Amino acid sequence: MDLFDLTGKVAVVTGGTRGIGMMMARGLLQAGARVHISSRKPDACAEAAEELSQYGEVSAIPADLSTEEECLRLAREIGEREQALHILVNNAGATWGAPLEEYPAFAWDKVLDLNLKAPFFLTRAFLPMLEAAATHDDPARVINVGSIDGLHVPLLPTYAYSASKAALHHMTRVLARELGPRRITVNAVAPGPFESKMMAATLEAFGEQIAAAAPMRRIGRPDDMAGVAIYLSSRAGAYVTGAVIPVDGGLGTTV
């Protein structure tokens, strides 16, 4: 089973204090990685680090990644603690819903700054550390967290969110081609409905209907997200790059 072993590897998971980011961080820890999580709120960082510490070595660094300056600061702080970075999970994100006639300009800025620009700035800022970790047989990994809303048209009026995730999927492919020769893979995960703060209101209102519409007849569980993170980060996924992997019970690809 050492094909999926991450012992000795270092990972950064943004938005790692809750939801999908926390699921991924937990999986990486259980596979043996040392994990640094980040989110905007210091209290949330401290609470999540305490909870995740039962699975392995974890630290938390608060950062508001909606600005390039904070992306650069996070990379500097990680660089003071680590010599190399094997896994970067760009998960921090935001959404906004409003009717077409009322959709505000500031919502576009808020959502695209965090969902699209931050993954680009972070990947660029961490490049020296990713290259330091990369080998020909075991490349460094960048995992961007997209969404099935970037693969199909969502039912809710979340225009900036779905557009940002579709753009993130394509940026993943662009960066995969550029960074492959530098021994770095770049992939995206497109989650469907999982229990998280972002999805809470939607699942409360439509959870049963969403589960019934999925071929797997359920919503996502923490192990589903942990599993894909381990796969893409381990030797098992060393030859996969430029992929957008739906983890959605079939909702985004069959419905």
**Catalytic site positions:** 161
Q: Provide the angle, in degrees to the nearest 10, between the axes of the packed helices 19-30 and 42-52.
A: 30
The DSSP bridge partners found for residue 11 are: 35, 87
- Region for 19 from its dihedrals, namely left if φ exceeds 0, alpha if ψ lies in -120 to 50, beta otherwise: left
The amino acid that residue 140 corresponds to is: A
CA–CA separation, 255 and 246 (whole Å): 13
- The torsion angles phi and psi of 90, rounded to 5 degrees, stand at -90, 90
Residue 246, helix vs strand vs coil? strand
CA nearest neighbour of 144 among 178, 177, 168? 168
The C-alpha atoms of residue 179 and residue 225 are separated, in whole angstroms, by 25
What is the DSSP pairing of strand 87-90 with strand 58-60?
Answer: unpaired
Q: Which of 176, 167, 116 is nearest to 141 (CA)?
A: 176
Contacts of 4 (CB under 8 A, 6+ apart): 31, 230, 231, 234, 235, 236
